[in-house]
Amino acid sequence: MSAVLRVQGLAKRYGELLALSDVSFDVSTGEMVAIVGPNGAGKTTLLSIIAGIQQPTSGEVSTGPGEVGWAPQQSALYSKLSVAENLELFARLERVQDPRAAVDRMLEQTGLRERERERVGRLSGGNRQRVNVALGLIADPPVLALDEPSASLDPGQRERLWEFIGRLAAGGTTVLFSTHNIGEVQRHAGRMLLLGDGRLLFDGIPASLPGAEPGGDLEQAVVAFLREHEAEGTG
Amino acid sequence: MRSLLRKDLLILGRSRLLLALLVIYPIAIALLIGFAISRSPSKPRVAIVDETPPGQTVRVGSQRVSVSQYAQEIFKQVDAVPVGSREEAIEQIKSGQVLAAVVIPANIAARISSDVSQGNLEVLYNGDALEQSLVQSSLESALAQANLGFSEQIQQAAAKAIQSLLTGGNLGSLGAPADLIGLREIPASLTSIIARTPAGAERTELERINTFATFAAENLAVSRTVLSTISQPIHVTSRLLHGRRTPLNTFAVVVAVSISLMFVCVLQAAGGLALEREENTLSRLLRGLVSREGLLAEKGLLAAACSFVLAFAMLAGVGAFVTLDWSRVGLWVIALAFGALAFGALGVAIGALAREVRAATLLAFLLSLPLALLALVPAGAVSGAFLGVINVISFVFPFKACLQALDCAVNSAAPPLPGSLAHLAGLTILFGLLARAGLSRAE
């Protein structure tokens, strides 16, 4: 399968702090890739560089910003505009050929048709996040980058969001998402990138992580793997 | 840019409080300023307690000046409210019906006529430091005018008395003999008598008296001119070195419009940009959808356009109360437009530094208020070093340049308009660059 996204030798430095160091990987069309790691591992930095929010200190990303849809952890929406107005605004800013048609498509995909005239500020957290993701998808990008998309949602809202994202991936959209929830990785991701201290420590299907047993607790395996690497680093 | 502008107008339209403020603010301020300027009393309202008995006079030589004329002079200078007693005057001051009271004591005529003491007035007033200062300066000016008027009457009476001494006749004072000889006639009469008097001690004595009479007549003749010089020793002629004199009421209009333009524009531009960060949409916009320069220009221009409309409405509204030269409306528009652009640039620079709307609003307010106050500090009111600091601050922020541009456009005041406009254009570029740098640093 051809790579829709290629990341090569990516590094990001904030003054003295090295947030990312020599991160390289390829992602194919329709893949669901989870980016996992402890706080400060560089997950958001990696996704925001892929989405074109930040520039890397060195290395390169094969896609342009217009080819990657972006949904930040905290929803980036105008709370005084309605769902449809938010979608139409970004459709126009993304220079989508037929903004109205794109809005209709996203309202159908996100199941927000009934709430299209409702102001975003009055929506529930789950619906806000669906609009947030929909804005990332408005220009129909081949790659969607989601930063902790389910972090502030209740279990029901989380489930509906993953159904929606799953349909996207099934439709051929490549999805990269960061998360602290290893259960979500097990259930939804076909591949896991494990970051620690800005370095890519593991890249593969979740079940192939060293220490992970079939049907076993992946979270424990991730924690053990990170401890081992930490010990190697200090040793 | 058009989509962003449409979005911001939609958001502005849905921020009812802000929209109401933008509509009501210019109308309210224009009405307030208009009423304040057109209805403000030109004379302070003062209670007058005249304790002098009716018909009391001050004697000047053979002439008499009625003390009631002094009260009349005071009445001319203030918005006088005659009251019957000191206690009543104090009540009126306390209730705020009058600013102050002047008590003309019963013995004022006696004191002026005594030749050894001045007449004393009692001035009563109340209020805080500002009111005290206003009352004191208003009353001092009014009483000085009244004193001048009264002293002119005394001077005229004195001049009339001197004239009577010089020309003789009936002096008009009680007990004075009728048909007195005038001092001017004495030398001629004496010279005639001396010519008929044989030489000797008697003639010598007459010649000495004649010399005195001639000297006295000559000097008394010039004393009338001297008296008028004493009553007003120095006459002041004022001349403005450059430009034309700005009437205080139209300058007040220019100050009010400039302050409103600044507050609305800076607050809206700063708040508009900070809102993008507060809603987390800034990073979404700046990932290639909108350039940083485009975003700053859109926010600055929208704020400038809104504040321009507001300021122009204010100016036009105040024009209903104060006479403004509408033939200069083209210059008003230019001055307001340049001022609005400079304030818009300052606003986006503040917005680029702040992380949320509340912080941006607070910062914009804290910066704008002292700028307006500093720009209005008169040159002679502070020390040279502090004035230098004020001038530097006023130079690097747009308020003073905008005030000068608008004052020139509305009142034809100095400095000339092109200089102020160039200054504002320079500041627009400077703050635009600062905003651009601030936006990059924040991201």
CB-based contact A6:A64 (threshold 8 Å): no
**Is A93 close to B3, i.e. CB distance below 8 A?**
yes
Search chain A and give the residue with CA nearest B291: A93
Interface of A with B (CB under 8 A): 48, 51-53, 64-66, 70, 72, 74-81, 85, 89-90, 92-94, 119, 135
For A20, phi then psi, to 5°, come to: -140, 140
CA angle A211, A215, A220 (to 5 degrees): 45
Distance in angstroms (rounded) separating the CA atoms of residues B139 and B102: 9
Distance in angstroms (rounded) separating the CA atoms of residues B67 and B150: 9
CA angle A27, A29, A33 (to 5 degrees): 45
Question: Which residues on chain A are in Cβ contact (under 8 Å) with B14?
Answer: 80, 119
pLDDT at A145: 92
**Considering only CA atoms, which of A62, A46, A72 is closest in space to residue A149?**
A72
Per-residue pLDDT of A44-92, as tens digits, reads 999 999 998 888 999 999 886 568 989 888 889 999 999 999 999 999 9
Search chain A and give the residue with CA nearest B280: A76
Per-residue pLDDT of B370-408, as tens digits, reads 888 888 887 666 777 888 898 999 999 999 999 999 999
Asked if this assembly's ipTM is beyond 0.90, the reply is no
Tally the residues of chain B. Answer: 443
Question: Which residues on chain B are in Cβ contact (under 8 Å) with A53?
Answer: 283, 286-287
> What pTM did the predictor assign?
0.74
pLDDT at A90: 93
Distance from CA of A22 to the nearest CA of B (A): 23
Distance from CA of A15 to the nearest CA of B (A): 13
Averages of pLDDT over runs of 10 residues in chain A (235 residues) are 85 90 91 92 92 90 81 90 95 92 88 90 88 88 90 80 86 91 90 92 89 81 86 66
Distance in angstroms (rounded) separating the CA atoms of residues B194 and A208: 150
**Is A89 close to B279, i.e. CB distance below 8 A?**
no
**Is A76 close to B284, i.e. CB distance below 8 A?**
yes
**Considering only CA atoms, which of B194, B202, B260, B183 is closest in space to residue B24?**
B260
pLDDT at A153: 75
Distance in angstroms (rounded) separating the CA atoms of residues B414 and B411: 9
Per-residue pLDDT of B328-359, as tens digits, reads 999 999 999 999 999 999 999 999 988 788 88
CB count in 10 Å sphere of residue A40: 14
pLDDT at B160: 81
Residues 6+ apart with CB under 8 A from B311: B26, B257, B258, B260, B261, B264, B336, B339, B340
H helices present in B97-176, as ranges: 108-113, 129-167
Q: Compute CA B369 distance to the chain's CA centroid, rounded to the nearest angstrom.
A: 22
CA of B214: how far to CAs of B154, B163, B203, B218, B391, in Å?
Answer: 27, 15, 16, 6, 65
**Is B289 close to A93, i.e. CB distance below 8 A?**
yes
Question: Which residues on chain A are in Cβ contact (under 8 Å) with B284?
Answer: 70, 72, 76, 90, 135
pLDDT at B343: 97
Residues 6+ apart with CB under 8 A from B114: none
Distance from CA of B348 to the nearest CA of A (A): 19
Distance from CA of A215 to the nearest CA of B (A): 40
pLDDT at A177: 93
Exposure string (b/e) for B10-22, b if CB count within 10 Å is 16 or more?
A: bbbebeeebeeeb
Distance in angstroms (rounded) separating the CA atoms of residues B263 and B31: 18
Per-residue pLDDT of B11-56, as tens digits, reads 988 888 877 877 787 777 767 776 666 565 567 788 888 888 887 7
CB-based contact B173:B57 (threshold 8 Å): no
Q: In this structure, what DSSP letter does residue B106 have?
A: T
- Give the CB-side neighbour count of residue B49, counting CA atoms within 13 A: 22
Q: Tell which of A12, A50, A53 to mutate to test the B interface (max B CBs under 10 Å).
A: A53
CB count in 10 Å sphere of residue B103: 21
Q: What is the pLDDT along chain B (443 residues), one digit of tens a residue?
A: 788 999 999 998 888 887 787 778 777 776 777 666 656 556 778 888 888 888 778 776 666 777 777 777 777 777 888 898 889 988 988 888 888 888 888 888 777 777 666 778 888 887 777 677 777 777 777 778 777 777 777 788 788 878 888 888 776 655 666 777 888 888 888 898 898 888 888 889 988 998 998 888 888 877 767 776 666 555 556 565 555 556 667 888 888 899 889 989 999 999 999 999 889 899 889 888 899 999 999 999 999 999 999 999 888 888 777 788 889 999 999 999 999 999 999 999 999 988 788 888 888 888 888 888 888 887 666 777 888 898 999 999 999 999 999 999 988 887 889 999 999 999 999 999 999 998 887 55
Point out which residues pair with A82 in neighbouring strands: A119
Question: Which residues on chain A are in Cβ contact (under 8 Å) with B11?
Answer: 78, 80-81
Interface of B with A (CB under 8 A): 3-4, 6-7, 10-11, 14-15, 279-281, 283-290
Distance from CA of B279 to the nearest CA of A (A): 6
